Amino acid sequence: MHTIGDDRIFTLIKPLLTMKKLSVAFVLFLLVSSGLSAQNGATTQFYKDPGSLLLNGGFYAISPPRTVTSPKIIAPEFTVISNLTAGISFTHYKFKSFSTGEADNTFWQEDTTLFNHYNIGLHASYHFIDKLNNLVKIYINPRKWDIYLTGEVGYNLIAVTSENPDAIVDKDNQKLRGGMYLGTRFYYNDSLGFFVKLGISHYGYSTFGLCYTVL
C-alpha cells in the first residue's frame, strides 16, 4: 500500500473512514430510530432551531468515469443560527486509472492500479424556503420540504495499490476539493427524510440519500 500525504494522519483516521461499515450502520440507525420520531418531539424545521443536529448519509451520482464504486458521504450538520447550518463530512470512493494509446488515441483501464480517496471536509448550507414562499404564489410546506444552497470544501488523502503508482498519483492527488449544490429534502415524518442535491464537485454532479433529525 502506497499512501500519499501525511502518513501518520492517514493512519489515525483510516479506521474512522471505513465508509461501507459506516453507511450500513447509518441506514440501520435511521430505520430503527425513525419509529421513535413521534415520541421525541423532533421537528422538520431543524434549521430554525440553533443547536439542532441532523445526520445525512448518501451517495454521489454522475461521478467521473474512472469511478469503481459510487462515492459515499456521511455529513452531520448543526444549526448555527436560524436558516444557517454547518458541519463536517467524510467522503470515500475508489477508482482506477486509464492509459492512452499514442498511435490511435484509444484508452483502456489499468486493472492493477486502484485508488482509494478519503476526504475530510466542512460544509455550510443556507435554507431559504421561507424567502421562496414569499416570492412565489404556490405555497411550499416547510414541514415537508427544505430547500437550500450548500458549499463544501475538504482535504483529500489517497491510498494507492500498485507496483509503481507515483507517476499517476501526482496528477490526481489534488489536496483541496470542494463543491456547490442546490438541494432539497422531503420529510417522511418529523425526523426521517430524503435529500437530493444537484451541482458540481470533484466527486459527482448529484448527491442523494437519507437524513435524520437527532436534536
CATH number of 2-213: 2.40.160.20
pLDDT digits (tens, 9 = 90+) for 112-131: 667 788 899 999 999 999 99
| Distance, CA of 211 to CA of 192 (rounded, Å) | 6
Asked if residue 107 has pLDDT above 80, the reply is no
Could you tell me the three cell numbers for 4?
Answer: 500519499
Q: What is the pLDDT of residue 17?
A: 46
Q: What is the pLDDT of residue 38?
A: 44
Q: What is the pLDDT of residue 79?
A: 96
Sorted by sequence, the CB contacts under 8 Å of residue 26 that are 6+ apart come out as: 55, 57, 74, 210
Residue found by looking up cell 417522511 in the block: 188
Strand, coil or helix: what is 190? coil
Q: What is the pLDDT of residue 90?
A: 94
pLDDT digits (tens, 9 = 90+) for 158-208: 877 766 555 455 455 678 888 999 999 999 888 899 999 999 888 889 999
Residue type, 137: K
Asked if residue 14 has pLDDT above 90, the reply is no
Question: For residue 105, which phi and psi values (nearest 5 degrees)?
Answer: 60, 25
Q: What is the pLDDT of residue 36?
A: 47
Domain boundaries, the chain: 2-213
pLDDT digits (tens, 9 = 90+) for 66-98: 667 778 999 999 999 999 999 999 998 887 665
**Between these two residues, 215 and 108, which has the higher pLDDT value?**
215
